[in-house]
Amino acid sequence: MFSRIALAKMIDHSILRPDATEDEVLRYCDDAMECHFACVVVLPYWCHAAEKRLRGSDVKVGTVVAYPFGAVPTQVKVYEARHAITAGAMELDIVINISAVKSHDYAAVHRDLEEVVTVANLAGLTEDGDDILTKVIIEVGLTNREEQTRVCRIAKAVRADFIKTCTGRGPRGVTVQDVKHIRQAVGREMGVKAAGGIRTIEQAGALINAGANRIGTSTGVAIVEAYDQSLGALTEEVLR
């Protein structure tokens, strides 16, 4: 059994709607601080405003790279990552080049991810640098199990921190089977972030039990408010 705050620390409170206003972004930041979420995931344009609002709190700024399709040149992804880190982002959700994966050009996928993850890892090596977490989005609704396994292996090889299931803009959301497959593919060494259509504590609980240790959702407040001790079946093991 673990506490409501432990559950909250597994949540990435996400506001990635293209029509989100500054007021909405700042409200998400305020809600995240009140609930003690892991981070707030915003579009790159809002990184600086979110960092300013969250400064001094225990909530990090997260953003997306090459969102939502990943099909931009590697140099563009590298620039996006550097710009986001400069603007205060501490967590990067990186969309794989889905077109390259579907073409089975895994060498290109490897080079692409390696360069972006390296930018993040090097940023943490400065004298006052903090670790920048990287999450590789595999878009389960557009990739099959074999492709997902190949990308998981690449992500491990380039030392990414998490595999993330969905952008939220794909053809479907995450399932328990998706998380189980990814957890089996990456083992216990990597994080697994379940995202895409998660709106209830029951969904979140099932995905955590399946092996997820982060939940990406726009309804984080409702989920933690629905916390109940009956969810004690979610053991401390999944938090490791």
Q: Name the active-site residue from 93, 112, 161, 178.
A: 93
Residue with the two structure tokens 């909250």:
8
Phi/psi for 148 (5° steps) reads: -60, -40
Alpha-carbon gap, residue 65 to 43, rounded angstroms:
9
Q: Name the active-site residue from 9, 135, 164, 178.
A: 164
Is 93 marked active-site? Answer: yes
Is 193 marked active-site? Answer: yes
Alpha-carbon gap, residue 226 to 51, rounded angstroms:
28
Is 164 marked active-site? Answer: yes
Phi/psi for 91 (5° steps) reads: -135, 130
Question: Using CA of residue 53, residue 129, residue 84, residue 190, what is the dihedral sign?
Answer: negative
Tokens of 133: 């977490």
The catalytic site residues sit at 93, 164, 193
